[in-house]
């Protein structure tokens, strides 16, 4: 099944027309947007921070990439089996009235929540940041740990 129906002329004319329309839409979007300095400074366009969670016999370990986030701007909460990571990334050297040519460093608030695969001992959880990497150690709750059952012969 074809999505473009050729009415007159060779097939390559359809491609040229499609390409022309795409270029016009990109130009219109850039004009309506009014430049990157009007874009709201949030992480809504992507996933932030990037997170890994690993598990061993006794604990879970969460690591998150948080470059430029200060410890005082970070909040970690655990409720039941849900861990929530909230914070704010600020860029202090940003000129207030600058018109950016390119703006890839963003600032703003972020929030990520994830369901942990097991219950953890919340009172024994610990977190630290080193070189922009957050590490959260989450010891498993006693009921979440594997217990070996002895088998008796009769």
CB distance 103 to 39 below 8 Å: yes
Check if the beta carbon of residue 111 is closer than 8 Å to that of residue 44.
no
pLDDT tens string, the chain, 154 residues long: the values are 444 454 555 555 666 777 778 878 877 776 665 544 334 333 444 678 899 999 998 999 999 999 889 999 999 999 988 999 999 988 777 677 777 777 777 788 889 999 999 999 999 999 999 999 999 999 998 876 676 778 888 8
**Phi, psi (rounded to 5 degrees) for 121:** -80, 95
């Amino acid at each position: 099944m074809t999505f473009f129906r050729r009415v007159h002329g060779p097939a390559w004319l359809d491609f040229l027309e499609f390409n022309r329309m795409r270029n016009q839409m990109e130009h219109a979007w850039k004009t309506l947007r009014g430049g990157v300095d009007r874009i709201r400074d949030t992480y809504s366009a992507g996933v932030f921070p990037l997170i890994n969670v690993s598990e061993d016999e006794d604990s879970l370990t969460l690591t998150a990439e948080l470059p430029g986030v200060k410890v005082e701007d970070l909040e970690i909460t655990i409720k039941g089996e849900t861990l929530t990571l909230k914070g704010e990334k600020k860029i202090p050297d940003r000129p207030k009235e600058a018109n950016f040519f390119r703006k890839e460093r963003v600032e703003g608030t972020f929030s990520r929540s994830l369901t942990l695969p097991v219950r953890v001992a919340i009172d024994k959880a610990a977190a630290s940041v080193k070189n922009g990497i957050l590490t959260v150690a989450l010891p498993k709750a006693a009921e979440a740990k594997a217990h070996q059952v002895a088998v008796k012969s009769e």
